[in-house]
Amino acid sequence: METAALLRSVILATLVVAGQLSYPSPPRARGAETMTFEQAVRRIPSRTLPEFWVGDVTGLAARFEKLTRCDVTTIARSPGGRPIHLIAYGARENLKSSANYNSAVGARERSAYLDKAARQRPVILFVGPVHGHEVEALTGLVNLAHILQTGKDLRGRNQPKIHELASRCRLLIIPEGNPDGIARLKPRALHGMEDADVRFWGQGTWGDDTFCGWPGAKRQHPMAGDNVGFLGCYFNEKGINPMHDEFFDPMGPEAPAILKVAREEAPDLTVSLHSHESRPAILRPAYVPLEIQKDVRSLAERCYALLAERGLPHGGLFEAVPEAGKFPAPFNLTSAMYHISGANSFTFECPHGINGRCQVSLEEILDIQLTLYEAMMRHEISKKGP
């Protein structure tokens, strides 16, 4: 039985790296099948996280008030009353638009939505954790904002290449895609913890303290009711997972706010930033044209080459394929981003640094995030020519 379970996990992990699944695989060793909140809190390591690490929404507004080179606005408030910020860097080019993207595609004239080729600078949208325990992206994006302001990350390390590349782009940063979920994460980082901790803080538990797990946590949505125990960080205070909101009739405020930014700004490239136990991976975007998949794959090649050059781990390349099979990929927030803005949209998975899995330091996690951002800017700038 243990051999079969291990084989199943290996197969699922392989599919994730290949881009055939959009979410991290279940842990190889399932560990405890139940956990109470008190037990979970006792498992949090006794440690002091470094100053460059940002694992909470507390103090974010004060940080962002210091950004004089960016425009910072609040685009929505979560059900818990927490702000969702947009940090905009670089001038916006006002180009004519006469149709929404869907209609422009129907007209066989995408430029009716926006002539992106006419822009002088590419527009890139970064969406921070919509799953609140995946704070690796929050740390990365807050450091990116600090680089835009000072040229240095929060370690005090100069980042001249990122700063120079950013000056040639318009960057849109949504640091906290699900502030309610982030606020629920007591450890502030899952680094150095176990698979069972990811399952507890990520998907939560049922009323009898058994793990909801992946993908079981998606079988009930909203995650609300007497059968719910600890509400995992996947969800906002109303039990909505923004990655799987009802995009045509939204249940929560996060996804509509994110998509409104995409619709109005018409980004060239956008990423939904996630984390898992395995190596860094750019996943295959679902329900987008094969040409978009191939472009994202070429970005993955660029990103993985930079990671390897810097001695950092990375996953394998996905294959561009149409949706098919008994269990096709879900149409999620990443898919919706393309269909509302025409952006080359993808999901990135960063390692947590879980014991026994892809073990990376907190500094390496930040370097992985910054390397991805650099690769994205290089990729889009290269399309504009010399």
Q: What is the DSSP track for 84-124?
A: EEEEEESPPP-----S-HHHHHHTT-GGGT--GGG-SS-EE
Model pLDDT, residue 198: 97
Compute CA distances 250 → 29, 222, 226, 254, 256, whole Å.
36, 12, 23, 9, 7
pLDDT (mean) for 129-135? 98
**Closest-CA residue to 95 (of 117, 71, 73, 70):** 117
Q: Give 105-127 pLDDT, tens digit per residue.
A: 999 999 999 999 999 999 999 99
- For 114, the token pair is 């926006």
pLDDT (mean) for 12-23? 41
Model pLDDT, residue 90: 97
Residue 10, pLDDT > 70, answer no
Band (pLDDT 50/70/90 cuts) for residue 144 is: very high
Confirm if 244 and 67 have CB atoms less than 8 A apart. Answer: no
The torsion region of residue 188 among left (phi > 0), alpha (psi -120 to 50) and beta comes to left
- State the Cα torsion 270-232-357-355 to the nearest 10°: 130
Q: List the beta strands (DSSP E) in the chain.
A: 71-77, 83-89, 123-127, 170-174, 204-206, 228-231, 269-276, 281-282, 344-351
pLDDT (mean) for 50-77? 97
Band (pLDDT 50/70/90 cuts) for residue 385 is: confident
Model pLDDT, residue 5: 43
pLDDT (mean) for 358-376? 98
Band (pLDDT 50/70/90 cuts) for residue 193 is: very high
Q: Give 370-380 pLDDT, tens digit per residue.
A: 999 999 999 99
| SS3 state at 10 | helix
Residue 32, pLDDT > 70, answer no
The torsion region of residue 59 among left (phi > 0), alpha (psi -120 to 50) and beta comes to left
Model pLDDT, residue 161: 98
Model pLDDT, residue 238: 98
Q: In order of start, what are the domains of the chain with their CATH numbers? A: 45-191+239-383 (3.40.630.10)
Pairing status of strand 269-276 against strand 123-127 = parallel
How many angstroms from the chain centroid is the CA of residue 176?
10
Q: Highest mean pLDDT range out of 2-16, 26-40, 346-360?
A: 346-360
Mean pLDDT of the chain: 92
Top pLDDT among 368 and 25 is at: 368
* H helix or E strand, kind and range, residue 368: helix 362-383
Which burial class, exposed, middle or buried, applies to 110 when counting CB atoms under 10 A from its CB (0-12, 13-18, 19+)? middle
Residue 234, pLDDT > 90, answer yes
Residue 1, pLDDT > 60, answer no
Model pLDDT, residue 60: 97
pLDDT (mean) for 346-367? 97
| SS3 state at 339 | helix
How far is it, in rounded angstroms, from Cα 125 to Cα 385?
A: 21
Beta bridge partners of 206: 228
Model pLDDT, residue 24: 38
Residue 188, pLDDT > 60, answer yes
Residue corresponding to tokens 């109005």: 264
Quick one: CA dihedral 216, 217, 220, 226, positive or negative? positive
Band (pLDDT 50/70/90 cuts) for residue 17 is: very low
Count of residues in the chain: 386
Residue 352, pLDDT > 70, answer yes
At 109, the amino acid letter reads E
Model pLDDT, residue 57: 97
Residue 26, pLDDT > 70, answer no
CB-based contacts of 48, cutoff 8 Å, min separation 6: none
Residue 16, pLDDT > 80, answer no
Of the chain, the percentage scoring pLDDT greater than 70 comes to 91
| DSSP symbol at 347 | E
Band (pLDDT 50/70/90 cuts) for residue 11 is: very low
- For 288, the token pair is 């987008």
Top pLDDT among 296 and 19 is at: 296
Helix 254-265 / helix 333-341 crossing angle, nearest 10 deg:
30
